[in-house]
Amino acid sequence: MRVYVTGAIGFVGHWMVAELRNSGHEVIPAPGPDELDITDRDGLVRWLSSAGLPDGVIHLAGMAFAPDAYRSPSEAFRVNVGGTIALFESLRVLGVRPSVVVSGSADVYGAPRADDLPLREDSPLAPQLPYAVSKAGQEAVAVEAGLRYGFPVAVTRSFNHAGPGQRPVFVVAAMARRVLAMKSGAAPSVPAGNVEVKRDLSDVRDVARAYRLLLEGLAGGKLASSPTIVNVASGSSVPIRWVIERLCALAGVEARIQVDESLVRPNDPAELRGDASLLARLTGWAPAIPLEQTLADVLADAAARVAAESATPAER
């Protein structure tokens, strides 16, 4: 297939492009936001016809960090909701109906009770903060495009994922940096927020594979209904404390954690854990990369980046 990927220069986008190419697809990555504003319908029309019309689209572009959305709700809605509208409108202008996978978020479930876990696609939605509300809006836009205009659409509710290349504002990448700082003697301990919250963590490479399988399923008519909403989750959860302790063990240092109240997020759910059985039934997907391997790869990536940042110009 000829697959266009929005958000291709981002964290997931990098792995998505590699996953598609390694599976034999022709990939047309979107340029960065300095060259193409995801809300610019006419710009999207030009890009989506730049190398031949698409057979499939994977839509990753948007605001992905919840605190960014909290600081600027209008921008979160502009890119997450407005960008998704612009994408489907640009495809309509071109007169094509490719298969479209839209990367959504499990944050739309809000703060579930323990009795609600694991979260399934029919679990109630209760988005509370700007990021979650913007992702619920994005999901609604994509579903409406599928129902109204006949686009083959799959919208994911993706739980937390990590891997090499992620910005250190996200929890696993941030903790890896802090563990390395402690190891080097630059910090006495690892500062962290609420380390008792539990999160469902997948490897970004497994997530990219899930998106590819969904796209192929849509294109091949293997997904019985469209639009389809589907969780992408590991099915298990771990405390953030455990993540830090494993990173410390991998780095060969004692786990010394210092809770910093300024890092505690208000309304942070005690646990998020998803049921990915629908994804497994639709595509045969299952997580393939153990979390321990993900953490080792993140730590190695963080160490390489720290070394590159501290190198002198001559060493670079």
Averaged pLDDT of the chain: 95
314 pLDDT band, cuts 50/70/90, is: low
Buried b (16+ CB within 10 A) or exposed e, 165-181: bbebebbbbbbbbbbbb
> What's the chain's length in residues?
316
Q: Is 304 left (phi over 0), alpha (psi -120 to 50) or beta?
A: alpha
Amino acid letter for position 87: L
Burial class (CB in 10 A: 0-12, 13-18, 19+), 103: buried
- Is the confidence at residue 316, as pLDDT, over 60? no
- Is the confidence at residue 163, as pLDDT, over 90? yes
| Planar angle of CA 61, 164, 16, nearest 5 degrees | 40
Domains 2-164+201-235+275-283 and 171-196+236-272+289-310 share a fold: no
Answer yes or no: are the C-beta atoms of 293 and 223 closer than 8 Å.
no
Question: 26 or 312: whose pLDDT is higher?
Answer: 26
- Per-residue confidence (pLDDT) for residue 21, from 0 to 100: 98
- Per-residue confidence (pLDDT) for residue 310, from 0 to 100: 83
Q: How many CA atoms lie within 13 A of 210 on its CB side?
A: 34
- Is the confidence at residue 315, as pLDDT, over 70? no
**31-77 pLDDT tens trace:** 999 999 999 999 999 999 999 999 999 999 999 999 899 999 999 99
Alpha-carbon gap, residue 141 to 81, rounded angstroms: 7
**CATH homologous superfamily of domain 2-164+201-235+275-283?**
NAD(P)-binding Rossmann-like Domain (3.40.50.720)
Report whether CATH 3.90.25.10 matches the domain 171-196+236-272+289-310.
yes
pTM for the full model?
0.96
**196-227 pLDDT tens trace:** 999 999 999 999 999 999 999 999 988 866 79
- Per-residue confidence (pLDDT) for residue 107, from 0 to 100: 96
- Is the confidence at residue 96, as pLDDT, over 80? yes
131 pLDDT band, cuts 50/70/90, is: very high
Partnered with residue 6 across adjacent β-strands are 59
Average pLDDT over residues 149-170: 96
- Is the confidence at residue 313, as pLDDT, over 80? no
The domains of the chain are located at 2-164+201-235+275-283, 171-196+236-272+289-310
